Structures are given as C-alpha cells and as structure tokens.
Amino acid sequence: MPQPKPSDPNSATAARALDPILATVRRFWGYQSLRPLQAEAIRAGLDCRDSLVVMPTGGGKSLCYQAPPAVAGRTDIVVSPLIALMKDQVDALRACGYPAAALHSGMDLEELRRTEREIAAGKHRLIFVAPERLLTPRFLELAARLGVSAFAIDEAHCISQWGHDFRPEYRQLAELKNHFKGASLHAYTATATERVRRDIIEQLRLENAAILVGSFDRPNLVYRVLPKHDVNAQVAETLRRHRGEAAIVYCISRKDTEQMAAYLAERGIRAAHYHAGMDADARRTAQDRFAAEEIEVVVATVAFGMGIDRSDIRCVVHAGMPKSIEAYQQETGRAGRDGLPAECVLFYSAADVLRWHRLIERSAEEAEVPAEVAENGKRLLEEMRRFASVLRCRHAQLSAYFGEAYPAPNCGACDFCLGEVEGVADATLLAQKVLSCVARVDQSFGIEHVADVLIGADNERVRKWRHDKLSTYGLLKEMPRKRVINLIYQLIDEGLIERTTGERPIIKLNAQSWEVMRGRRTVKLLEAKKPKSARTKIEEASWRNVDEALFEKLRALRREIAAERRVAPFVVMHDSTLRELAASKPTTIEALSRIKGLGERKLADFGDRLIACIKEPSSKA
C-alpha cells in the first residue's frame, strides 16, 4: 500500500512544523485534536512503556495504538479477539491510506502467505492477529524478524476471569513477555473494574505501566429503563422513534431474537436476527447487510457486538436484561460511537434476573465454569438488577459503579433526570390487594395465576381451584394483565414478596409483606411515562444548523462510494463528518480539509464528489 501523497504541497510543510503526533493524526485521520488521554496513551506507545488504557467504547482507543507505529515508522502488533473486528479496522485504516493488515483463519493459504511476505518486507505499520496465532512458531519468527517493539492487546479484559467476557485463549498472552523481552505491552479495554484492572496488569506482567483510566460517562447516550410488559410492542414503538436509523436489539436467547426479528419485519422494520447458533455465512450476511445499511435493525444475542464497528448506531434496546453492568455498558456503548446522541432503552423484568440465575447455576452444575466464576457471575447479576430497579440518575449510577464521581445533579439524559418516571398513585393500597390475593391462594401459586385471579380472568385453572369465589377475585379488574404482572415483579424486587426458585416458582409472603398488609409500611411502585417522541435537548443540539435533506443526500453518496470500494459506509466517513458537512456546506477542498474526519487521502479520493453533492441544487420532488 503506497503512502498517501499530500494533496496540497503546503500542507505537508505546515504539518511538519507541528507536533509529530498531531501531524500524523491530521494527515491520516483528519482529526484536528486529540481526545482526553489519547496523547498520554500514544506517548506510552512511542516510548515503549507498558500501559493499561481504560476508556469507554467510543472513547477513541484505536487511535492510541494506531498512531505510534505511524509516527515512529515501525511495525506494531495488535491482538484482537474477533476476525470481524480486525477486518473492519483494516478496511477503515486503508481508507485513510494507512498500511495495515490482518492474519486470521478466515483467509486462505495463498492470501496468508502473500500478507506474510508483505509484512516481512516492512510494508505494514500495524498487524492484527488473534491470540492463538500470535504464539505459533511461524508468527513468533516473523515478529522477531521485524524486531517488533510494541504489542497492543485489544479487549484486554478477556484475560480476566473476574471480567464478564473471559476468553481462555487470552491466557496465553502471559507468555508474551518471555518471547519478546524488550517489547512493551499496551492493554486496552472499555470495561474494567478495579479488580479486573489489577488482574490484567498481573497476568500480562506489565511493568511500571502507565495506567490511563478515562471517564466512563458517555454524555451523548440517553438511558431509559422501562418495566417490561409487552416487549414486542414496546421494542417496535422504541424503534419507531429511530426510523431509518441504525439500531441493535439485544435478547437473551436465540429463539427470542428470531421471534422478535420476525415480529419487527412484519411491521415494516428492516430487521434481521443474529446469534451464535447460525452458521458463519448467515452471520456474516446479517453483519454485512447491517454494515451496508441494507437493514436498520439487528436483533441479536450478546454474540453480536464486538465485531460491529458501525459508528452511527442511534439506538440500543435491551429486550432482555444483560447479566452484568459491564455487559450493559459495553452493549449500550455501541450506540453513538460517533459522539452524536443515541438512545439506550432497557426493558426490565425480574423474570430475566431469575432466568440468568438459572443459567449461571446450570453452567456451574454442568461444570462449564469453576464455582468461583459462577459466584462472581451472581454478584455481577445482582449489581445489574439493582441498576435496573433503583431509581436514580443512570449516568450517576454507572459512573459510581466504575468508581467515578458524577458531577452534575441532573444529567439531562436519562429517564430519571428527564422526569419520565413517576410513582403509581395509591401504591400501598395496590400492594395490599396483591399481597392479600397471594394469601388467599394459600401462597401456593405462581405470578401469572395470582395476576389472573386479581384481574378476574375466567379460565379453566381459576375455576378448577374455585378461585373465582375468592374475595380478591377481580380486585384489579380494570388493570391490564401485563401491568399487574409487572407490579408483582416490582414487589418481588422490593423484597415484599418471596419467589421460590426451581421449575415452577410460586410466590409467598414474608415478614415485610405482613408489615405492608398491616399498614405499617408504605410502598412505592413505579410506572414509566411514555418517552416523548420529540427529540431530547442533546439530540436537538446535535442537529442544530444541519440541513437534514443534504445530510440524507450525503448519506446516499457515502453508500455509493462504499459500494464501489466494497467496504462498509461507516468505513468511508462517520455520521458526525456528514453532519458537519451538511451544516457548514464547504465548497472548496481547503474548506473541506477543516472538517473533522477528512484526512488527506479521503480529500484526494472523493473530496470533489462531496463538493459536487453539496453544490447540487436540492431536487424538488
């Protein structure tokens, strides 16, 4: 891959006078400045000083390991867990004129050998490899021949069993320091609590490492947690607020993803499902169609994510609760990586907590994971449950979990701070009705049956037990069944009702239940108001001065360029770049070069087409 030629002879001279890091970043990526901690992380890379960099998704970690080899003119290695992740990064780097390559099992032998030859000839600045390939004799020899002096470990939390995404193949990375005595290691992760951080440092044997921990807060994400009642309809309604925009819907099970995707497709939403049970081709197709903007919504299990680099995801929905705050942070973190506002909606029900609980216990019983990992899993699950059911500013809660103080009293970007959650009127009375019904059915039935009795359902089971004769029969007949079920779950969450575990859980009363029934304890129950379909303030601000019609036109042009080059549109340009273009409407190459995200290569490759698109009179359809 040839080095990019400066499009304007003066710019090269001008750039040389600047700090070499900034000059490189401007030349390849077209960024005008560095983000917090990027400078420190890049410095550590240049100085070959071990480092641990913890930044949220979208914080800009990749630049930290991409810049040093370009500045120093050397070849570095990046260890990455997924092929899709490597491929997207290599595509994006090449679009910037940055020579990079990956070696992975998805390549045929010929391609592998050709790439190895290119690497050996020093053609590439960055080589992406999977951890299992890194320590093969063949690769070790290649790396030794190149005299590699720095390794970046992406998704470094995968090395720790205290994290949420432990990968045994990462364990081998502990050997790196033996094989490359003088080389530095640079660990990168978006999710690491104190314990995981210590573990990463220990396992990789980092020495005198620069520890760079960025802020976890993502101010551009709006968090909402809503009680789950009719999840299909709730998800469809959420997605309607994001028509034509990219979204991910996370479900717990594979079956859920298929059923949900079908439901959405029937309602005219361009959606596809994605899970680890699909064959590699089908998964790749779903991913490619999403990347190419042929579909807007992917309904997926957690299997979908790490490989998805699309930066313009405007909405992440959790139709099922994630099993840890780390997972939640990482999955929601895929929204708004371009820095523009995005919405994250979690539909919460206590049933999902129990579901995860059972899954964790089962995998411990079947000895898939060691007992302490299962215990840790339950602890992480409980933290997540608390996050979902406690009513406090979501940004503040997430920050606190990652050991950070959140400064603002009102974030303006969560359901709580936006005033979208309200208490149910007469909650104590409602709770008393529910509890007395639990007592009347002898504390021997499950949630659904109790709800049926309360709403006065006329069904076989109710009649069989003669529960239609109870005084509590039909006590809440004006309420939809799903709502009653949700209220019962809230009472379970508050510890006011016990629920047994096992195949057919039943609900029972405890000491607190009696306090409520005797009027010695008041109860708070919540109800979510519907979020307004209008944009929030931060969304509003992100569209300020943007010519939305031009934005769509530029988006179409981006798709066209992407198709010509057989890469994904987000690899060509980010939405934030398009919005800047659609706001400031530059009509000269000089003016274009001031737009964030347009480096020299991109200006030379399609600057003229952008200008033509901007100048073109808008069609009056």
What is the Cα–Cα distance from 31 to 599, expressed in whole angstroms? 7
Inter-residue contact 387 to 362 (CB < 8 Å): no
Q: Smaller CB distance to Zn ion: residue 306 or 414? A: 414
Q: Smaller CB distance to ligand ADP: residue 340 or 525? A: 340
Q: Per CB under 6 A, which region of 50-58, 132-140, 226-234, 394-402 contacts ligand ADP? A: 50-58
To which H or E segment does residue 259 belong? helix 254-266
3-state helix, strand, coil in the chain (%, to 5): 50, 10, 40
* Residue 395: CB minimum distance to Zn ion, A: 5
Q: Smaller CB distance to Zn ion: residue 7 or 536? A: 536
The residue assigned the tokens 């005299």 is: 147
* Residue 589: CB minimum distance to ligand ADP, A: 20
* Residue 334: CB minimum distance to ligand ADP, A: 9
Partner whose footprint covers residue 585, from Zn ion, ligand ADP, none (CB < 5 to 8 Å by kind): none
Give the residue among 82, 76, 89 at the shortest CA–CA distance from 44.
76
Inter-residue contact 416 to 392 (CB < 8 Å): yes
Partner whose footprint covers residue 414, from Zn ion, ligand ADP, none (CB < 5 to 8 Å by kind): Zn ion
Q: Per CB under 6 A, which region of 57-65, 244-252, 364-372, 432-440 contacts ligand ADP? A: 57-65
Partner whose footprint covers residue 411, from ligand ADP, Zn ion, none (CB < 5 to 8 Å by kind): Zn ion
Q: Smaller CB distance to ligand ADP: residue 55 or 100? A: 55
Inter-residue contact 488 to 507 (CB < 8 Å): yes
* Residue 555: CB minimum distance to ligand ADP, A: 16
Partner whose footprint covers residue 87, from ligand ADP, Zn ion, none (CB < 5 to 8 Å by kind): none
Q: Is 344 in the site for Zn ion (CB under 5 A)?
A: no
**351's tokens:** 């049933």
Inter-residue contact 319 to 249 (CB < 8 Å): yes
Backbone angles phi, psi at 7, to 5 degrees: -75, -20
Please give the residues from 579 up to 618 whose contact with ligand ADP meets the rule CB under 6 A. 596
Partner whose footprint covers residue 35, from ligand ADP, Zn ion, none (CB < 5 to 8 Å by kind): ligand ADP
Q: Is 57 in the site for ligand ADP (CB under 6 A)?
A: yes
Choice from 124, 553, 574, 601 touching ligand ADP (CB under 6 A): 574
Please give the residues from 351 up to 390 whose contact with ligand ADP meets the rule CB under 6 A. none
Query: Could you give the angle at which helices 600-615 and 548-565 cross, rounded to 10 degrees?
Result: 130
CA 301 to chain CA mean position, Å: 12
Q: How many CB atoms lie within 10 A of CB 416?
A: 20
The residue assigned the tokens 């760079």 is: 212
Choice from 222, 317, 417, 561 touching Zn ion (CB under 5 A): 417
Please give the residues from 286 up to 325 whose contact with ligand ADP meets the rule CB under 6 A. 311
Q: x/- contact string, 7-46, with Zn ion (CB under 5 A)? A: ----------------------------------------
Q: Smaller CB distance to ligand ADP: residue 55 or 454? A: 55
| Length of the chain measured in residues | 621
* Residue 410: CB minimum distance to Zn ion, A: 6
Q: Per CB under 5 A, which region of 98-106, 310-318, 331-339, 388-396 contacts Zn ion? A: 388-396
* Residue 311: CB minimum distance to ligand ADP, A: 4
To which H or E segment does residue 498 belong? strand 498-499
Q: Is 355 helix (H, G, I), strand (E, B) or coil?
A: helix
Q: Per CB under 5 A, which region of 101-109, 283-291, 391-399, 566-574 contacts Zn ion? A: 391-399
Q: Smaller CB distance to ligand ADP: residue 42 or 226? A: 42
Choice from 248, 411, 421, 434 touching Zn ion (CB under 5 A): 411
What is the Cα–Cα distance from 219 to 413, expressed in whole angstroms? 7
What is the Cα–Cα distance from 403 to 215, expressed in whole angstroms? 10
Q: Is 59 in the site for ligand ADP (CB under 6 A)?
A: yes
Cβ burial, residue 516 (10 Å; 0-12/13-18/19+) = buried
Neighbouring residues of 540: CB distance < 8 A, sequence distance ≥ 6? none
Q: Smaller CB distance to Zn ion: residue 100 or 411? A: 411
Which amino acid is it at 332?
T
Alpha helical stretches, state H, 9-60: 9-17, 20-29, 38-46
Partner whose footprint covers residue 57, from Zn ion, ligand ADP, none (CB < 5 to 8 Å by kind): ligand ADP
What is the Cα–Cα distance from 2 to 97, expressed in whole angstroms? 8
To which H or E segment does residue 313 belong? strand 313-318
* Residue 319: CB minimum distance to Zn ion, A: 23
Give the residue among 432, 522, 525 at the shortest CA–CA distance from 475.
432
* Residue 25: CB minimum distance to ligand ADP, A: 6
Q: Is 467 in the site for ligand ADP (CB under 6 A)?
A: no
Name the pairing type of β-strands 526-528 and 421-423. antiparallel
Q: Is 248 helix (H, G, I), strand (E, B) or coil?
A: strand
Inter-residue contact 130 to 105 (CB < 8 Å): yes
Q: Is 58 in the site for ligand ADP (CB under 6 A)?
A: yes
Q: How many CB atoms lie within 10 A of CB 341?
A: 21
Q: Per CB under 6 A, which region of 51-59, 143-151, 526-534, 545-553 contacts ligand ADP? A: 51-59
Q: x/- contact string, 23-42, with ligand ADP (CB under 6 A)? A: --------x--xx--x----
Partner whose footprint covers residue 289, from Zn ion, ligand ADP, none (CB < 5 to 8 Å by kind): none
**376's tokens:** 């840790």
* Residue 110: CB minimum distance to ligand ADP, A: 31
Please give the residues from 40 up to 69 whose contact with Zn ion meets the rule CB under 5 A. none
What is the Cα–Cα distance from 154 to 335, expressed in whole angstroms? 19
DSSP 442: T
To which H or E segment does residue 54 belong? strand 51-54
Choice from 239, 414, 487, 595 touching Zn ion (CB under 5 A): 414
Q: Smaller CB distance to ligand ADP: residue 473 or 606? A: 606
Q: x/- contact string, 62-81, with ligand ADP (CB under 6 A)? A: xx------------------
Q: Smaller CB distance to ligand ADP: residue 34 or 90? A: 34
Q: Smaller CB distance to ligand ADP: residue 35 or 133? A: 35
What contacts 24+ positions apart, CB below 8 Å, involve 473-478? 475/433, 475/437, 476/430, 476/433, 476/434
Residues in contact with ligand ADP by the rule CB under 6 A: 31, 34-35, 38, 55, 57-63, 311, 337-338, 574, 596
Residues in contact with Zn ion by the rule CB under 5 A: 393, 395, 411, 414, 417
